Every structure is written in structure tokens, then in C-alpha cells.
Chains A and B, each alone.
Chain A
Amino acid sequence: MIQLSSNFMYAAFFLYLAATIFFAVSITGKKFKNKQGNEVNKAGMFGFISALLAVLSMLAYFTTRWIAVGYAPVSNMFEYTVALGMATSIGFVIIYALYRNNYLGLFTMPIVMLIVAYASMFPGEVQPLIPALQSHWLTIHVITTVIGQGILAIGFVGGLLYLIRVINFKESSKKVKGVEFILFTLLSTVAYVAMGFGFGASNYEATFEYVNEQGNPAEMIYLFPPLIGPNEGELISEQGMSPVIDAPAIIQSADLNTVIWAVLGGVVLFLLLRLILRQPIGGAIQPLLKNVNPQTVDEISYRAIAIGFPVFTLGGLIFAMIWAQIAWTRFWGWDPKEVWALITFLFYAAYLHLRLSKGWHGEKSAWLCVIGFALIMFNLIFVNLVIAGLHSYA
């Protein structure tokens, strides 16, 4: 059953790829217009169909895995992140149905692929659920939240699309740097995933004996070549190399090491692209988007947030409170994860008010959409893995 569910996920991955290609064709391919001036290039429709099939395939993955593991598969980093990819594509399907914008597809599909690929960096085996996680309310809470976040993610994609469309890349400015930074972050994730698959395929594993925070000897496993070693670490496996420098005991050196590899990989990819393109990457993408109507993309990103915000609030705050009341005896406890969900909520509330009353449309609104998504990712990755609270998985 697990095997079957993985196969559905792989199938979805290739369908996302197919959708990306179709959307790319629909934009760069020849424009066929009939007499009424309507588009007759069908690639956009095929792209949408592929995306729809990918969502179905993901739902099949989700259902089969649910049956196999016996609980809703949103209970560890792997499962949750895959679900976020799925939810983002669901968000896309909804928004595409409203606006039929192929550019949005061209941008969303690769990002969904990246999210799913990133998920597969986490251990995907079936995990036993601790008692606090055995609850229907938890299932309802997490699934609603992830769908909300997925729809909000479309707001980010719209924002990014808008920024690349309107910013003047000819002159160096903070805005250009900002967009380049977003692209760099995406490239780092690409690099991380690629290297992760590479080292994973070659079964790379370096094991250290080290002295942990409490001063006790312990073991740590590295999946990337150790540039930064653990505190007083000693390599005990055959694979591996001696690290350049040792980290202090309070730092999870293996994780830090991975982050460093990801950033280095991102830098290499980024510089390589800049060298080939001889201009900012955003500037190189811009000509592709010359037919994008900024006002439409602006409305798309707002619409995604207006649709996603209530879903996120319902899942991430209201259902979360109901569950917390049942599982932890209080509906609110200022746990870091809760606080960051509240911050995300307040942030989007501020966004809506700014847009509505201060007229923050267009560029300002687009930047806010990007920041909002950064908050969601921060809550998923940083708060889960670094600020370990009650929610931290794994």
C-alpha cells in the first residue's frame, strides 16, 4: 500500500512537470488567434488538465497512505510538506478556474514540484503516533490549515509574477536585489534537493562520536560531507572527511552543515545563471511576461489571499484551539508554533486592511504576499526544526 501511494506521488510529480511544460508552451509557443481574436493555442488547457490530474493523483497518494498508515498522513515533516505541495496545487486549480492565467501555471507548477521534492528529503517511513497526536480534531486542524496555506501560497506566486513583470531590472535597486534574493532562495532549495538526492543515491553517511550539550558522549549522522563538525567530534565511519571547524555543543551541527551546503549550492547555481544570462535572473525572465496584465496578476494574488485567509484562520487558529483544548487542556498556550500561526494571521489581516483602505495595490501588495509566504515557510521549517515546542515533529 505504501508502495502504491509512493507511485501515485511520483506520477503526480511527472504530471506537474507535464503541466509546467504545457504552460510554457502556451506562453512561448506561437500565438494562434482566430477571427474573434481568441486564443486557440490549446496548450494552456492541457496544462490545466495535467494539473488537475496531478491533484487527483496526489489525492490518491494521500488516501492510500492514509489507509496504509492508519491516520491522516500529515503527521511528520515529510507528510506535511507533501501535503503542502498538494494543497498549493489545489489552490492553483481553484484560482486558475477563476482567472485562466497560464503564467500563473508556469510559475506555480515548478514551485509545487520543488515543495514535493523538498519533502522527500525528510524520512518518509511510517511513524507511530504519540498519544497527543491521536485525535480527529488534529486531522481536521492540520488538513484545513495546509489547504489554507496552499491557497495563500498562490498569493505568493502571483506576487512574484507581478514583481518580475513590473520591476525595472535595468538599474540596480533594492527591489531588484529583493527579487534576486527570492530567486536565490528557490535556487538554494533546488540545490539542496539535488545534492540530497545525489548523496542519498550514493548512500553517503558520515558518523561522528561527539560530546553533546549535557556533556555526554553521543553519535551524530551526517548525510552531507561534514564542513562543520560536532562539538569535539570524532569521525567513526569510513565515509566522511575531517571537518573544517567544530560547532559548539548547543548547535545541531549536522543541520547547520546541511544549511551551509544548501546555501553554497544556491550560490553556485545563482552565479552560474548570472554568468550565462549576463543580467539579473528576474530580468531574464521578464521578457517572457510582457503579455501579463499587471492589474490582473495583482487581483489574482489578492483573490488567492482573500480565499485562503478564512480557510487558514479556520484551520490554523479555530480548529487548532479546539484541538488544543482537548489535547492540552487549554485552547491557547503561547507555544511558539501557536504564536507564529497568530503572527501569520495578523500579518494577512494587516495585508487586507492595507489593501482595502490604504490602497496598497500592485507592488507593495506583491511584496507583502511574498513576506506572508516566507512567514508560512518559517513556521513550517524553522519553528518546527529549530524552536522546538510542543508541536515539533520528528
Chain B
Amino acid sequence: MEKVKCECGHLNPYGTYLCESCGKPLKEEKGKVANMRYEGVARRSQTYKQTPIDKIWNFFSSVKVGIWIIVLLLLTSSLGTLFPQEMYIPPGENPTLYYEQEYGLAGKLYYQLGFHNLYSSWWYMLLIASLGVSLVIASLDRVVPLYRALKTQRVTRHEGFLKRQRIFGEATGITDPDSEMAKAEEILKEKRYNVRRENGNILAEKGRFARWGPYVNHVGLIIFLIGGMLRFFPGMYLDAHVWVREGEQEVISGTNGEYFLRNNEFLIELYDEEDEKYREALQRTGSPVVKTYQTSATLLKRSNEGTVGSETELEEVKDYDIRVNDPLTFEGFSLYQVDYKLNELSQFTFTLENESDENLSDEIQFQVDLNDPQKLYEFDNGYRIEIMEYFPNFVLDDNREPSTLNRIPDNPRIIFEVFPPDVNHEEESGEISLIGIQVNEALNGENDHTIRMLDVEMVDVTGLTIRKDHTLPIISIGGIIFMIGLIQGSYWHHRRIWIQNREGTLLLAGHANKNWQALKNDFQLISDNTHIPSPKDQTEKEDEGVSQNNDPTKQ
């Protein structure tokens, strides 16, 4: 489309309302006050409305649409807090049943509509994506022409432009306009305005950079959203869990077997109920309150010097007390204290008894490590004890066969076979018994010998979450840019004051993108110190005036 030439000589893009340079109205507008939202520039969305691309562009660049997206997000987000999300229902519960059981019909519906995973549903994602698209398009639609217009603007403005500003006044009969204007200029400079003069006219401007605030914050938001979106790509972040027993070490997943963590000690500290300070509160709640969860850990690294294959060569990297709110971090990894298990069985000590031999129990004593039991125990007096089967977490399976749930020794059962010295272990079978906590059964008839448990040892186990998140830097940068833009656009604002001398008549006009009161105060200051009167707020008398300046049909 062809450009529009203004009488001042400036070539404006097609669709311009107010000449970018002198501000002369190029199109008729309703109302006394010009719509200054974007300096009357030509915005793509207001100018081109034909092709499908135009239509999409115009749809997303509309703030009305943007607001609808925000409101829809807000409303749907609140639905997700009606009942707990799936990740917050008690572990082990079946969501299919849980919601109906707990919340009746409403719960069932909630589950069937997928609201138990609302924030990862496709339509919620779609809303967030549209927010992002809308942010990009709406910002581009405005920032480019706005930037050009503010850069191109001239000091001397067309009279029609000045008259159609919200703040406008004419002053006639001033004896020495030039010196009055010089005084005004000084005052404005003192108020830290950036003053430009041209042909005796003044343009005083302040805080233009605040105009970029919204665009900067939108860019921050977009970066933040991109960072969030990256989490859907595999490998962008690691979320693993590890249990480490006291005294043991486990490999840290995600490190290619390079790093290990040793749990030196796990401890829980409670608040002292006798403590004067907390007595009242502790009595009211009636239950002990935890003060600290802590894993005293050592980070180990496989040393490079060790010969190939000798995997146990581990070098201590550092000692750290991992606590809630105080993770251990290294090379982008973080280990968090999230769980624990106290008093897990770790070792049984047994002895062997025989009614006819009182000394036997002194001679035979042995330990079974429940996490890594030895298969065979041989004694000097010729006795031999074998472990035939070991069930760390004993259950009877569906076929009523003994089995184990997992490798965690929560309910250990051991089947021992005892060979006294006179029995040949290769040819004959020994006495077989099943041993566990409070369990001691002979499995092949009467036994002469009894295995008796002497001692039980337990350890504490710490549960740690391992995290590495490559999206964090992006998300942080997005957040920082967002905050900068937000502050830039909220705590500063853009004001302009025009004073023009037309053959002795002073034309005064002012524009602020918000906080008009401050602009008016500046005019007041001028009029207090010069003979230039304060201009009027043209919207003040008519109550509807304010919205005229922001006529929705013009957005």
C-alpha cells in the first residue's frame, strides 16, 4: 500500500492516524481528544484485514483476546484446586476409585473429566500456548511502530495534534513569551525532563523508557514459557529417587556411574518438649514436632587413576549435611532430603542350640547381613549351615508359594539347612528350618538343632531426590527479564509536555501514558513560577471523558 504524505513532508505508513512526525491528524476521529495509545501509528492489525494470516494476526494481537485467555486460564486453574490433583492423593490409592470414594459423584465426575490431572491436560496446555502466541503477536504489532513513532517525533507539532491532547491550554497576552518559555524550560530541566527546542518550541519528555516496560516483561514471560515447555523434551531434566542405608553408598543416577553418595548417618531431631519457648504450642498440638531431618553424607567420585575394571576406587569429594531446605549440589545436580525410614532391619545374629550339647551355642554364632547374605557358614567344630532361600520381604504369592515382594528386608525369612559334623552335606540333606522375626519352623520333620536369634541390628535409611534441571537457567532468565520489565513499566511513566509559541499565543499540551496527576502537577509548577497558566484536562468535565481516550473500538 502506498505511504501517506503529511503536509509537514513526512512519509507515513499506510493506516497512520496521526502523522508520526508532526502529529497532524490524518484521519477523522470521533471525540475531542485523540486516541494516543500508540501515538496514532499504523499497526498491522488495524490496517490489514484481508488474508487468513491477517486474520490470525489480528485475532492474537487483540488485547481483548489476550484478556480472555488470561481469564480462561484463571478460571480453569481454580477448578484444579477443588479436589486434590492426582499427585497429591495418598500414595498407593487407585485414582479410579479414590475420587468417587472420597468425594462422591462430584469426585467421579472430576476424575472422568480429567480434572485430576488438569494442569497437564491438552486443553490447559493449549491455553498456555495461546497465551504465548498472543504475547508475541500483540507485542510485535505494537512495539515496532511505537518505537518508530517515538523516534521520529518532531518538536514542533501540528496545531490539530496539540488541540486534541487531553491536557491542552492556550495562553494569550503574555508580555514576554520567550522569556517565560525559557523559565519554563529551566523548571522542566530541573524536574529532570529531557528538553528539546526547535524554532522556539519546546518538547519536554521524561521516562520514555517506561514505555518499553510491557514489551520487556512480555519477552520475559515468553522466555519463561519456553523454558517451561522445554521440560516436555526428554533429557531436559532428571528427577530420580534413591534410598541409601546408613554406612552404605549408592550410585547417583544420571551421573553415568561416576558419582556415589555414602550415608554416614541419618538423624531426626525433635523439638524439646521441656523447652520453655515452645511448651505451650507443643502442648496444644499434643504431638512431637520435628526440628531437623539430616543425612550426613559423603559425595564420592570414581577416581580416574584406578586401573580399568577396579570399580571400587572411589575418591571422597566432599562431606555434606543434607537437610530439608539445604540440598547438596554439585555439577548441576542437587540431592534433596525428602524421605526416610527408621529402623530397617539390617543384620541378624544367630546361634545354634542342641539339647544334648550345652556348649554348642557358645561355639556357633554367626551373622546374616540381610542386604547381602552369605550363602554358607562353616564352623571349626565341623558344623555347616547353608542358606537355601532368602526372602527379604516375605509373602505368600497367588499360588500360596513363598515369595518376596522386593529386596527390602522389611519382613525377612530365611530357610536354613543345618549339617552337623556327622552328616555328609554332599549326599544327605540336613535339618531345614524357616526363620524370621518371631518365626521358627522346622520344615522336614523333627529337628535336633534349633537356630535361635540372638540379636537384631537395624539401620536408618535416607530417601533422597536427585535433580538436574537444564531448563532452570532459561526459566530464571525469563523471570529476571519479566521482573525488570514489570518494574520498568510500573514505577516509571512516560510524560511529554509541548509548549509552542504561535505569534505570541502559547499552546500548551501534555500527554502521559498514565498517572496524569503527576503531569498536572508539573504544569502547576510551571504556572506557579511563570506567567504561563495551567492547561485544562479536557476530559474532566464530562464524566465519560476518560474512557473516550481509550475507546475500545479503536484498539
Contact = CB atoms under 8 A, between A and B. Distances in A.
Contacts of B78: 339-340, 343
Interface string A121-147: 001011110111011001000000000
A251 interface: no
Interface stretch (A183-191, A203-211, A226-234, A352-360): A352-360
Contact of B289 (A128, A303, A306, A347): A128
Contacts of A335: 88
Interface in A287-319: 295-296, 299, 302-303, 306-307, 309-310, 313-314, 318
State the main secondary structure of chain A at its contact with B. helix
B430 to A, nearest CB: 49
A239 B393 CA distance: 53
B63 A357 contact: yes
Nearest to A394: B285
A330 B475 CA distance: 12
Given A128-B282, A130-B290, A339 B88 contact: no
Contacts, number: 139
A284 interface: no
Q: Which 10 A-B pairs have the closest CB atoms?
A: A359-B550, A131-B324, A357-B63, A359-B547, A336-B81, A125-B280, A346-B74, A128-B271, A135-B325, A127-B281
B30 to A, nearest CB: 14
B327 A309 contact: no
Given A318-B479, A334-B119, A353-B66, A346 B85 contact: no
Given A126-B278, A318-B479, 10 more contacts: A125-B281, A128-B271, A130-B290, A310-B487, A329-B327, A330-B239, A334-B85, A339-B78, A349-B70, A389-B88
Contact of B327 (A130, A326, A346): A326
11 contacts: A99-B517, A123-B281, A130-B289, A135-B325, A326-B326, A329-B327, A334-B87, A336-B84, A357-B64, A357-B552, A358-B67
A321 interface: yes
A280 interface: no
A310 B483 contact: yes
B64 A131 contact: no
Contacts of B66: 353
* Max chain B C-beta neighbours (<10 A), residue from A296, A299, A307, A346: A346
A200 to B, nearest CB: 15
Interface string B272-287: 0000011011101000
B552 to A, nearest CB: 5
A327 interface: yes
A353 B67 contact: yes
Contacts of A313: 483, 486
Interface of B: 37, 63-64, 66-67, 70-71, 73-74, 77-78, 80-81, 84-85, 87-88, 119, 239, 271, 277-278, 280-282, 284, 289-293, 323-327, 334, 336, 338, 465, 467, 472, 475, 479, 483, 486-487, 490-491, 514-517, 540, 546-547, 549-552, 555
B464 to A, nearest CB: 10
Interface in A348-379: 349-350, 353-354, 356-359, 361-362
A356 B546 CA distance: 11
Contact of B515 (A299, A309, A343, A356): A299
Contact of B67 (A138, A331, A334, A350): A350
A342 interface: yes
A123 B334 CA distance: 37
A220 to B, nearest CB: 13
Given A131-B291, A353-B63, A359-B551, A126 B465 contact: no
A321 B467 contact: no
B325 A339 contact: no
B73 A327 contact: no
A131 B486 contact: no
A314 B483 contact: yes
A69 B70 CA distance: 41
Contact of A310 (B281, B486, B549): B486
B32 to A, nearest CB: 16
Contacts of B70: 346, 349-350, 353
B74 A347 contact: yes
* Max chain B C-beta neighbours (<10 A), residue from A126, A135, A138: A126
Contact of B540 (A295, A336, A339): A295
A125 B323 contact: no
A303 B475 contact: no
A383 interface: yes
Contacts of A99: 517
A357 B324 CA distance: 46
Nearest to B213: A310
Contact of A387 (B81, B327, B546): B81
Contact of A295 (B81, B290, B490, B546): B546
B476 to A, nearest CB: 9
B483 A131 contact: no
Contacts of A329: 239, 327, 334, 336, 338, 465, 467
A361 B546 contact: yes
A123 B380 CA distance: 69
